[in-house]
A and B are shown apart, each in its own frame.
Chain A
Amino acid sequence: MKFSNYSKLVVYLLFMSLGLNNAMAAISAEAEQAQVSEASNTAKDIVLNFQNVLLDVMRQGEALSFQDRCKQLEFAILQSHDVIKSLRTIVGSKEWKRFSDEQRAELTTVFTDFIVSTYASNFNAFSGESFVYVSEHTTKKGNVIVRSILEIPEGKRKKVTFDYALKKNADDWKIYNIAADGVSDLATRRSEYRRILADEDGFNTLIAIISKKIDNYAKK
């Protein structure tokens, strides 16, 4: 193929694909608006507020110690997440009912600390990240899934899709699951925790493993 023909092909493909791209974007934008008007806005607010706290903690970066970040994030997480509901779903109803009240309290505390330290350890610096809201829709059960994309602009440009699942508890919407690029936090943890709990003395093993993970984050 001569060079002139080749460059024509390039230009042709470029225009063709750009045109299709724009058309697709317009269609999906319309669909998005239709969904938003039907669903409640409060679930979206919970997610956006939580994401703003995350970005704020990241922007403060080095100025905050690990413990400082934990404090700020723990408050935000307890406000926006239904930690106990997540935990009960993770360990399973049968197992949860088998626990004593002390065991439930202990596991809840350790689990909450683990979630907080995981956030505090991973959201510790800012390099221009942003969350872009995409859509919101109500499931058959009346829960809401808020989709947003984390855009990481610098260096290795990356996008991660976050789907937040929220349930209405009394008057408040609370996050009970987050899926990153389709990987559900609840489902993954569920397999891990139930595997450990199935072993003899599983409860104590679980507490020991999680405590060690928290220590490692604090030492990092």
Chain B
Amino acid sequence: MLIFSKQKGLASFFAPLFILLTLLLSGCASNEVVTAEAEDLEVEVEVEVSEVDPYEGFNRKVFVFNDTLDTYVAAPISDAYLWVAPEFVQSGIANFFNNLKDINVVLNDVMQGKLAQGAEDSGRFAVNSTIGLLGLFDVATEFGLEKHDEDFAQTLAVWGVPQGPYLVLPLLGPATTRGVPGGIFDAAANPATYVGAPIQLLQMLNARANADGELNFIEEAALDPYVFTRESFLQYRKNLITDGESANTDDLLDFEDEFDDEEGIDDTASIKAIEPVDAVEVEAELESADAKIVETDVEESAVNSKDFSKASGSFDGAVKSFDDAANSFKIASDKLNQLEAQ
């Protein structure tokens, strides 16, 4: 599940364009969702999800838009690159951009108080930029200097900034509201942001090509690609923030175990009426466990929903235009197929 870190490369190019849009999105449309939530209270899944993903309706549209754009534009270019470029060229390019990112990693090491790791990552950058020929070769890893993954969104999390709602951004993909200022900082701290468009396009191509395996895996394995992507993104980010300890601690497993215990061990047990009190308890436990996992600030989003309820009209228009754009990609592709047939 390394796609998300690698896709962050895209942020450097598009971030400034989407700051305004994102700020708008972080507030609007919750009015609609809140009422929907009230109606569906008996459907437990809806209640569970809405805490992390209050803008699911909008997010799903953008997800489809991004997916269509990827299928018809990014994937063909990336496939061509993977087919044409020799493996050593691909890994050289990947190493080059990873090396530039190490500057930002060092900054964030320091801001998170990880001084030992900061020294190690400075060493990485120094070694790879010199012996590694401007980062084309990752010799530091051969020397035993592990690559670390730090960014400003993680630093914000360490500083106690709440995660905020889940967002799917046009072209940029999965994020949370905490990830938006994070992405802007990361782009500003990456030298690739300040050079010409060809380098930035290459950076995007590299990011997409490196994520190819993971994106194919999602396509094959996910029953609901939107939910699969959201869940794995949020868990993957949490794992990065805790430096790999989230899966090694008891939190998630506790919640799974409690759930297990409520079920009883007997497999062949006949279906009997569940005591209502039990059911409520399970529900409450689940909700509190989920709240622990996602660390969302529900109250905050409730306040936002009042402030921004007026904006939902213009929001509907934006959603529709994403639908239209996705459709026009499909139509264009159909036309190309027709041309080919002729």
Q: Chain A: residues with CB nearer than 8 A to chain B?
A: 7, 9-10, 13-14, 16-18, 20-22, 24, 84-85, 88-89, 92-94, 96-101, 118, 121-122, 135, 137, 139-141, 143, 145, 147, 155-158, 160-161, 163, 165, 167, 176-177, 179-184, 186-188, 191-198, 206, 209-210, 213, 216-217, 220
Q: Is the CB of A17 within 8 A of B247?
A: no
Q: State the CA gap A96–B262 with chains docked (Å).
A: 12
20 residue pairs from A and B, CB less than 8 Å apart = A13-B126, A17-B123, A21-B120, A89-B259, A93-B282, A141-B250, A145-B248, A156-B94, A179-B247, A179-B252, A183-B236, A191-B49, A191-B230, A193-B223, A195-B224, A195-B227, A196-B223, A206-B223, A209-B223, A220-B220
Chain B interfacial residues counted at CB < 8 A: 68
Q: Chain B: residues with CB nearer than 8 A to chain A?
A: 1-2, 43-46, 48-49, 87, 90-91, 94, 116, 119-124, 126-127, 130, 138, 141, 143-146, 210, 217, 220-224, 227-228, 230-232, 235-236, 238-240, 242, 244, 246-248, 250, 252-254, 256-257, 259-260, 262-263, 267-268, 271-272, 274, 279, 282, 293
A21 to chain B, nearest CB (A): 6
Given A141-B250, A206-B223, are A98 and B259 also a contact pair (CB < 8 Å)? no
Q: Is the CB of B127 within 8 A of A10?
A: yes
Which residue in B144, B235, B262 is a CB contact (below 8 Å) of A184? B235
B140 to chain A, nearest CB (A): 9
Residues of A within 8 A of B210 (CB): 156
Q: Is the CB of B248 within 8 A of A17?
A: no
Given A13-B123, A158-B2, A193-B223, are A165 and B253 also a contact pair (CB < 8 Å)? yes
B57 to chain A, nearest CB (A): 14
Q: Is the CB of B231 within 8 A of A139?
A: no
B166 to chain A, nearest CB (A): 12
Q: State the CA gap A161–B293 with chains docked (Å).
A: 20
Closest to B239 in A: A182
Which residue in A92, A147, A155 is a CB contact (below 8 Å) of B259? A92
Q: Is the CB of B45 within 8 A of A188?
A: no
Which residue in B44, B45, B91 is a CB contact (below 8 Å) of A156? B91
A179 to chain B, nearest CB (A): 4
B195 to chain A, nearest CB (A): 22
Residues of A within 8 A of B126 (CB): 9-10, 13-14
Given A161-B244, A163-B247, A194-B45, are A182 and B235 also a contact pair (CB < 8 Å)? yes
Residues of A within 8 A of B221 (CB): 118, 213
Q: State the CA gap A165–B256 with chains docked (Å).
A: 11
Q: Is the CB of B257 within 8 A of A143?
A: yes
Residues of B within 8 A of A163 (CB): 247-248
Given A156-B91, A182-B236, A187-B235, are A17 and B122 also a contact pair (CB < 8 Å)? yes
Given A17-B119, A155-B91, are A145 and B253 also a contact pair (CB < 8 Å)? yes
Residues of B within 8 A of A167 (CB): 257
Given A145-B248, A155-B87, are A89 and B220 also a contact pair (CB < 8 Å)? no
B341 to chain A, nearest CB (A): 24
Q: State the CA gap A137–B129 with chains docked (Å).
A: 39
Q: State the CA gap A137–B249 with chains docked (Å).
A: 9
Given A161-B247, A163-B248, are A97 and B274 also a contact pair (CB < 8 Å)? yes
